Amino acid sequence: MVAATVVMSTVACSSPASSGASTSAASSGKPIALPSKDATSGEVLDAYLRALKAGDCRTARALTTSPFASIGELCGHVRVKSYTPVGSPATPGEEAIFSTNLITQGSDPSPMPDGLHTRFYRLIRQPDGAWRVATAGSGP
């Protein structure tokens, strides 16, 4: 299992679904390019984490499944300061699970208390062959 470290803090970010506006903001101000449909699960997760770091909620949500985007998405709730590169998944196949260490910083209402958290991202292959973030949590 490969670990990545992500530093996060609370940040305000409007939802594209509710405002119709792009949520590119904060760190870089530039939208993150979507990976190709044949990108590996690791490349998709890396793009997702880069989008979180850039505050690019539109791209982050495009790299998730609809259920995750509506209830599990961190973009718009936290700001990523840094992360380490993503490695190989723990379980290859139609699902890929990555272990990620998150360091959160922020004030209430933060989705997680400040500090170090081990998070697991599960990506699933979509019918069109693309990988998307389906779940994230403290256990696989």
More confident residue, 35 or 24: 35
Query: Could you read off the pLDDT of 64-99 as tens digits, one per residue?
Result: 999 998 888 778 777 666 676 677 898 877 899 998
Rounded Cα–Cα distance for residues 94 and 24 (Å): 30
Domain coordinates of the chain in residue numbers?
Answer: 5-137
* Tokens found for residue 121: 């991202």
pLDDT on residue 88 = 85
Q: Hey, how many other C-beta atoms are within 10 angstroms of the C-beta on 92?
A: 11
CATH architecture label of 5-137: Roll (3.10)
Residue 2's pLDDT band (boundaries 50, 70, 90)? very low
pTM for this prediction: 0.75
Average of per-residue pLDDT across 28-57: 88
